[in-house]
Amino acid sequence: MTIANKQEESLQPGDETVQQSEMSKMDDQADRTDTAQAQDEAFRQMIEESLREQPVLQRGQTVQGTVVGQDNDAVIVDVGSKGEGMVPKDEFKTLGVEVPAVGEQVDVLVQALGGRAGLKLSVLAARRVGAWEKVEQAVDGDETLEATVLAEVKGGFKVSLDGLMAFMPRSEADPDPRYPAESLIGQTCQVAMLSARRKPENVVVSRKQPLEVVRKQQQQEFFSSINVGDKVNGEVKRLTDFGAFVDVGGIDALLHISDIAWQRIKHPSEMLSVGQHITAEVIKMNEETGKVSLSMRVLQSDPWEGVAEKYVNGMRLTGTVRRVLDFGAMIELEPGVEGMIHRSEMSWTRRDVNPADVLNEGDVVDVMVLDVDTERRRIALSLKAVTENPWQAWLSRHPVGSKIPGSVRNITEFGMFVGLDEELDGLVHIGNLSWTRPGEEVLKEYQKGQEVECVVLGVEVDRQRISLGIKQLDEDPFDVFLAGAGRGSHVHGKVTEVKSGAVIVELAEGIEAVLPLREVPREHTGFNVGDEVEAKIIDVNRKRRQVGLSVRQLLRAEENEAVRSYLEEARSDTKPSALALELQRKLLDKERKKA
């Protein structure tokens, strides 16, 4: 028996209304059950459809997300699948890009799906995955990639390949080893792959190789279209102490410092700057080495044209000191025209002049032209010539013969120098110390700093010499002696020295004469020091201050005088005296001997 039959049997008469009510409730409950089942089925289908539309996230997967928010440290990215993750802002800084705004799309890599960290995302890791793919393709295809130089490290540079860190050796940075490393930092450039390995991660790149390929092509184009003498336009890339390197269409040409301008400059920066565009002429080319030399100077007019007519000897000019050297100073007379003052032309009085003590760079000075050599492009100048010659000025104030005081500044073997003022000295030669004593002996009596009085003997202005004398303060005893006893005079003296062929006779203080023995009669027995001598002066040499004596001639003169007296007496007396007879006899004897 079914449950329905049992229920029907249990119903009593009069309960039909109740029965219908129960049946109605059961039908409503069945309808509600069917509706709920239908709703559950629809919800299940919706979820399945939603899951089919949104792929399931996997760790290590790269997906595109949308920025939905950010805080101080991170950016919030919605990657679908009801998932939102955090990307550190530092990653964008490392990549060198701006932090994206809300609503922007970004590629991220899923690093973690759950746990305490939740959904962990990385822009940097996503870039690295893409970068590795590009690196491996570049290695296989021998291609170049764009890289950013981040920093200089030991032995080279750290570079970024779209987030993938790589190393660039210094030798692979540029074809020119002198290229300044600091200028690469922050640059974006094309690099070739030298090696790439994922584990351990190691990527080595070269900036030089792509540049050399491009440069080689540019060199071929340059050397096929440009010749020596052509004008070219270029941009100054680097300045050095010796010149500038100019980019003339991919060729780094050298503009030497001497070819920048006619005037001398210390450094190219005086006339050029990095980035400046210039026009120059090609003066040298070597296709094998790829070297090119330029000149800006040849495009300028030569300032030395007409110099010979413009500058003549003796002309006074004004110039600017450009360089001070050990041997002199270079003076700019006009742009491109310089003259030199030799150290010997800087001072009248200082012989060993240090040019740096007299002139400084930038000084404006008056000079005189001494010589112009246009072939050698040299102009000799003088600084001292435009000032008064101190020797000429001194002579005008102290004529020859005047007496002046001074102080002994230096003593030498040949005399002593006497200071006349702060700049000038005069020389007292050893021969001008004493009339009567040896100069070597007298010189020992003087000391440095001793005050002396001198006589001006002469001034050689051209040779810058002043001659002084001390003995000239007194009268020359030789002149005094000769004033009273000249040639033929009868003199008395004392023997001071006996030599082999002569004796020295002192006639007066400081006056010595020579008596040759041939001028002494044979019957004379000889001389000793201290003997008194009577003789006749037969020779006087003022220049050598020498006097010659003769006893023989003195006796002859006395005899002649006796004969003269005899003859005079004979003429006046009728009867000759005994003396007259004796003289007559001697004269007759002499005449017989002569006969």
Q: Is the pLDDT of residue 299 over 60?
A: yes
| Higher-pLDDT residue of 113, 592 | 113
Q: Do domains 142-211 and 226-299 have the same CATH topology?
A: yes
CA distance 228 to 575: 127
Interior/surface letters 345-368, b for 16+ CB within 10 angstroms, e for the rest? bbbbeeeebebeebbeeeeebebb
CA distances from 174 to 17, 146, 185, 208, 254 (A): 106, 16, 13, 5, 17
Fill in the amino acid letter for 496: T
Q: Is the pLDDT of residue 1 over 60?
A: no
Longest dimension (CA), the chain: 248
Helix (H) or strand (E) holding 57: none
Question: For strand 465-469 and strand 425-429, is the pairing parallel, antiparallel, or unpaired?
Answer: parallel
Q: Give the CATH number of domain 392-473; options: 2.40.50.140, 3.30.70.920, 3.40.50.1100, 3.30.530.20.
A: 2.40.50.140
In this prediction, residues 435-463 reach a mean pLDDT of 89
Q: What is the CA radius of gyration of the chain?
A: 61
| Higher-pLDDT residue of 5, 165 | 165
* Per-residue pLDDT tens digits for 193-208: 888 887 888 889 999 9
Output the pLDDT for position 267.
92
Q: Is the pLDDT of residue 46 over 80?
A: no
In this prediction, residues 339-351 reach a mean pLDDT of 86
Fill in the amino acid letter for 268: P
Nearest to 62, CA basis, from 9, 14, 128, 16:
128
Give the model's confidence band at 443: pLDDT under 50 very low, under 70 low, under 90 confident, else very high.
Answer: very high
Q: What is the mean pLDDT of the chain?
A: 82
Output the pLDDT for position 56.
64
CATH topology of domain 226-299: OB fold (Dihydrolipoamide Acetyltransferase, E2P) (2.40.50)
CATH class of the domain at 62-127: mainly beta
Q: Which ranges constitute the DSSP H helices of 371-415?
A: 390-397
CATH match of 475-595 with 3.30.460.10: no
Output the pLDDT for position 12.
47
Q: Are 229 and 284 within 8 A, CB to CB? A: no
The first and second tokens of residue 591, run together, are 């005449």
Interior/surface letters 414-448, b for 16+ CB within 10 angstroms, e for the rest? ebbbbebeeebbbbbebebbbbeeebeebbeebee
> Which SS3 state, helix, strand or coil, does residue 259 take?
helix
| Higher-pLDDT residue of 564, 424 | 424
> Which SS3 state, helix, strand or coil, does residue 31 take?
helix
Torsion of CA 63, 64, 66, 72, to 10 degrees: 60
* Per-residue pLDDT tens digits for 149-158: 999 999 999 9
CA distance 372 to 340: 11
> Which SS3 state, helix, strand or coil, does residue 248 take?
coil
Residue 452's DSSP bridge partners are 406
Fill in the amino acid letter for 595: A
Nearest to 429, CA basis, from 421, 439, 437, 444:
439
Number of H helices, E strands in the chain: 12, 30
Output the pLDDT for position 577.
61
CA distance 16 to 82: 57
Q: Are 320 and 363 within 8 A, CB to CB? A: yes
* Per-residue pLDDT tens digits for 407-422: 999 999 999 999 988 7
Distance of CA 51 to the CA centre of its chain: 80
In this prediction, residues 228-251 reach a mean pLDDT of 91
**Residue 328 region by backbone torsions, left for phi larger than 0, else alpha for psi between -120 and 50, else beta:** left
* Model confidence, pTM: 0.44
* Per-residue pLDDT tens digits for 308-331: 888 999 999 999 998 899 899 999
CA distances from 491 to 505, 558, 562 (A): 10, 13, 19
> Which SS3 state, helix, strand or coil, does residue 380 take?
strand
Q: Are 550 and 491 within 8 A, CB to CB? A: no
The first and second tokens of residue 310, run together, are 């413009």
Q: Is the pLDDT of residue 521 over 50?
A: yes
Q: Is the pLDDT of residue 11 over 50?
A: no
CA distance 342 to 353: 10
Q: Is the pLDDT of residue 545 over 60?
A: yes
Q: Write the CATH number of the domain with boundaries 309-386.
A: 2.40.50.140
Q: In 10 A of CB 182, how many CB atoms? A: 7
Output the pLDDT for position 259.
92
What's the burial of 529, exposed, middle or buried (CB within 10 Å: 0-12/13-18/19+)?
exposed
CATH match of 142-211 with 2.40.50.140: yes
User: Residue for token digits 């008064």?
Assistant: 388
Output the pLDDT for position 19.
53
CA distance 288 to 498: 94
Where do the domains of the chain lie? 62-127, 142-211, 226-299, 309-386, 392-473, 475-595
What's the burial of 81, exposed, middle or buried (CB within 10 Å: 0-12/13-18/19+)?
middle
Give the model's confidence band at 296: pLDDT under 50 very low, under 70 low, under 90 confident, else very high.
Answer: very high
In this prediction, residues 170-183 reach a mean pLDDT of 83
CA distance 394 to 155: 72
Q: Is the pLDDT of residue 340 over 90?
A: yes
User: Residue for token digits 């069917």?
Assistant: 34
CA terminus-to-terminus distance, the chain: 224
User: Per mean pLDDT, which range of 247-261, 328-342, 364-378, 548-562 is the poorest?
Assistant: 548-562
In this prediction, residues 225-234 reach a mean pLDDT of 92
Q: Are 385 and 403 within 8 A, CB to CB? A: no
Phi, psi at 178, each rounded to 5°: -90, 5
HSE of 133, CA atoms in CB hemisphere, 13 A: 5
